[in-house]
Structure 1
Amino acid sequence: MNLTKRILLAMVLGISIGVLINLVAPSKEHFLHTWFAQGLFDAVGQVFIASLTLLVVPLVFVSLVCGSAALGGHSRMGPMAIKTLGLYLTTTAVAITLALAIGQLVGPGHGIDMPGEVEAFSVQEKPSLKETLVGIFPSNPIAAMAEGNMLQIIVFALLLGVAISRSEARTSQYLQAFFGHLNTAILKLVMMLMHLAPYGVFCLLAKLFADLGWGAIGDLALYFCTLLFVLLLHGLGVYSLLLKTLTGLSPKIFLRKMWSVMVFGFSTASSNATLPITLRTVEKDLGVDNRVASFTIPLGATINMDGTAIMQGVATAFIAQVYGIDIGITGYLMVVLTATLASVGTAGVPGVGMITLAMVLTQAGLPVEGVALIIGVDRLLDMVRTAVNITGDAMVSTVVANSEGLLDRDRFQQALTEDDTAPRSTEERPGDQPT
């Protein structure tokens, strides 16, 4: 059984065991919860997430230095960055527009009795646009790495890579070789962790469903199904249409190669934790050159939040309907704009969508307390949103690489094999020039 099938099997078994524990032992004081859900499963799951998170900063930094050093003297770096940002913001705007339209059409909040008292929900205040822009540039790169500030790490790695490319030939060659070998070692470490992934996925899902079961979905079934439908429509339909239109490549091959990464994202509910797996798959299986992938994937994990934007759209329509507030066409246009801009600088960690949703509701003139109405099912939907987000990152990376002539189309068309696990060296990447 190959790795993808083992991960899928682990996902099914984890959900089944979790639901079974929830049915047999609904009380969290029961020994099944204490020893297994809150004990063994939670411990193994947290170790797995910590192991993935461990790789994020070194992988992003080293890979991006390699990519920008190879591309630093190339005049296409600016246009490539503009294409990437433009595609990310466009897909986010499309996502929330689609969510608002279907949310209005289905009306998941109509007919729901407003509870007498809604539990107060407090969120951290999101920084202003000025603070966000200033915060992109690091004053201390070591502190940025310690805090996991992805935008600052990206900026520093880009500057260092460009500086290496413009250094004198001997220095540039030595440093590029050093970072290239370091990148290969980190990718090998990613592969070692991937083979342990089925156990981590099993424990994460078993613990989650032991806590929640299926009961949390019942009261908000229409909202849950509406949001799930829009997420699947965007992740499978819109991305496939864009990929086929802009590159002519097969969406079926793309989705098949991304399937195991989507399961990773679903299990971890974190774009950042899944980033090492996403980057490796985009380079190795989809054929995107490292000089593109090392920039587009980390940036996408930071600013490309299509799944979160969809949640904000459907949730805004739902909360407006529950409270009986009509915000009008102007209000919905403001929601589109606010949610699109809010995706920039939002951390790719579980539950962050609640923070940006509070800002969107405030902008639309809706009560922030409405967040408490949907928070019960948000953890499950957050997992699907993450899978959509990382699929969007990979799609945009493929499109940008194709437009820059840095996509190995033969590699993209190759069948996915379990034995083909060794990351390619710098010399094997398509488009590289000899030093």
Structure 2
Amino acid sequence: MNLRSILILAGLILGLSVGALLGTSAMGVAVAEAAQPIGTLWLNALTMTVVPLVFSLLVTGVVAAGQEADGSRIGVRALVWFAILLLAACLLSVVVTTTLLDLWPVPASAAALRTGAEAAPAIGSTSDWLVGFIPTNPIKAASDTAMTPLVVFALLFGFAITRIEPEFQRHLDMVFKAIVQAMLVIVQWILWLAPIGVCALAIGVGAKMGAGAVGALGHYVVIIAVACIATALACYVAGPLLGRVSPLTFARAALPAQVVALSTQSSLASLPAMIDAANTLGVRKEEAGVVLPLAVSIFRAASAAANVGVAIYLAHLLDIPLSLGVLLLGACVAAVVSLAAVGLPAQVSFFASIGPVCLAMGVPIGILPLLLAVETFPDIFRTVGNVTADLTVARIVARRDVRERVKRSTPGG
């Protein structure tokens, strides 16, 4: 846990404590009313960066994916499996999170959070929803924070850039990379004020919920952690089944990399251990050298699963009904956005990847800052799930070459 995470968590604890102690007394009401504009200003400043940051990340992400694959057979195959497994992980999260929340609903004490939650863009009817995939005016979509058509336009724009002349491609890519860098500077400035903003928002929550706020946040952490664990466990089925390796071999090979992921909370720091694990799984160094760095760069299955889980949790918390179509839409947006929000600091990634999913599903994002303060805990399980999924896709992508290698090494084969 870095210094900023500690300060944000401290801000949450301080705000909840002050709010709970003062309660609904005259002084408590006065303090909460004074703190609310501060928290709202900070939240608005953070929300201001979502659209330009996500759009630019998607455009540069599409261009980078094509460049990193480098036209190689293994790279292209890896990208295809990334897309398949990301969507599968998000759909699994929809089932797991929804089922868990039906069996173990959001605590009644959390109902106070519904007060004052701003409405997100409405989803509309089924026909409007389908027609809305293609924006007639991308600028208006951005202005309305209509994330689904904006994501579609960003993907099309990114793919179009990969088809133009290399010189123009480089120029446009550099422009959007520069926008990303500029937006990240702004976000970093805003996040250094996060302890104050989170504390201000938490005072009102503590006054309304009291000690129940701790239970509600703990409930959230458990639900999202289980969604990540479910993704990791699914890899123990997908890896052996699609990669044609025994479950025990896969589990033994993955364990050292998972331990590193658990201790560092970094997929990049786990890369050397993953390369060793891939070798144990029979993946050649040449294949692992392409698939695993590419996976660490853009493939985060557990994170995508957790992101759609957060949106579903907020919908249940705010008593917002979610149709099957909206759930599927959220899964698709989570899968796509996760490909772009890579290499970002944890706090930045939290908003850049979850915000669009929530907005696409019609879920307000005003409560996200409070969840950010406790994100360190489910983030542990995100990293473990991501590393396990990386090893899974490495084995799956390399399986044909592994089979040929085994045949050549078999006496008389």
Q: Same fold (TM over 0.5)?
A: yes
Structure 1 residue 163 displacement after superposition:
1.1
SS in 1 for 2:48: helix
Q: Which of 29, 33, 36 is 1:38 aligned to?
A: 33
Distance 1:251 1:307, change over 3 A: farther
CA contact (8 A) 1:307 1:385 kept: no
Deviates more, 1:236-245 or 1:82-91: 236-245
SS in 2 for 1:166: coil
- The answer for unaligned runs of 5 or more in structure 1 is 110-122, 259-285, 317-334, 355-378, 406-435
Distance 1:100 1:205 in 2: 27
Distance 1:193 1:90 in 2: 34
Deviates more, 1:198-207 or 1:79-88: 79-88
Normalising by structure 1, report the TM-score.
0.55
Distance 1:245 1:305 in 2: 21
Q: Which of 163, 168, 171 is 1:171 aligned to?
A: 168
Q: Percent same amino acid at aligned positions?
A: 23
Structure 1 residue 200 displacement after superposition:
0.8
CA contact (8 A) 2:53 2:179 kept: no
Q: Which of 345, 348, 353 is 2:358 aligned to?
A: 348
Number of residue pairs aligned between Structure 1 and Structure 2:
301
Q: Which of 126, 130, 133 is 1:133 aligned to?
A: 130
Q: Deviations over 1:392-432 (max 9, x none)?
A: 98787666666666xxxxxxxxxxxxxxxxxxxxxxxxxxx
Structure 1 residue 229 displacement after superposition:
7.2
Structure 1 residue 136 displacement after superposition:
2.0
Q: Which of 206, 210, 215 is 1:214 aligned to?
A: 210
Distance 1:341 1:292, change over 3 A: closer
Distance 1:337 1:395, change over 3 A: farther
Q: Which position in structure 2 is the counterpart of 1:240? A: 229
How big is the alpha-carbon RMSD for the aligned residues of Structure 1 and Structure 2?
4.8
Matches within 5 A, 1:44-83: 44-72=38-66, 75=76, 77-83=79-85
**1:193 counterpart letter in structure 2:** I
Deviates more, 1:394-403 or 1:176-185: 394-403
CA contact (8 A) 2:36 2:201 kept: yes
Q: Which position in structure 1 is the counterpart of 2:111? A: none
Matches within 5 A, 1:108-119: none
Distance 1:140 1:298 in 2: 28
Distance 1:133 1:397 in 2: 32
Q: Greater helix percent: which structure?
A: 2
Q: Which of 305, 308, 311 is 2:311 aligned to?
A: 305
| Structure 1 residue 11 corresponds to structure 2 residue 8 | no
Structure 1 residue 213 displacement after superposition:
4.0
Q: Which position in structure 2 is the counterpart of 1:152? A: 149
Distance 1:201 1:5 in 2: 12
Q: Deviations over 1:228-273 (max 9, x none)?
A: 7764443224413533763655378459749xxxxxxxxxxxxxxx
Distance 1:32 1:231, change over 3 A: closer
Q: Deviations over 1:177-213 (max 9, x none)?
A: 2222332222222222221111111111012223x14
SS in 1 for 2:49: helix
Distance 1:205 1:348 in 2: 21
Distance 2:157 2:367 in 1: 40
CA contact (8 A) 1:92 1:304 kept: no
Q: Which position in structure 1 is the counterpart of 2:22? A: 21
Q: Which of 88, 91, 105 is 1:89 aligned to?
A: 91
Matches within 5 A, 1:414-429: none
CA contact (8 A) 1:84 1:396 kept: no
Distance 1:14 1:287 in 2: 41
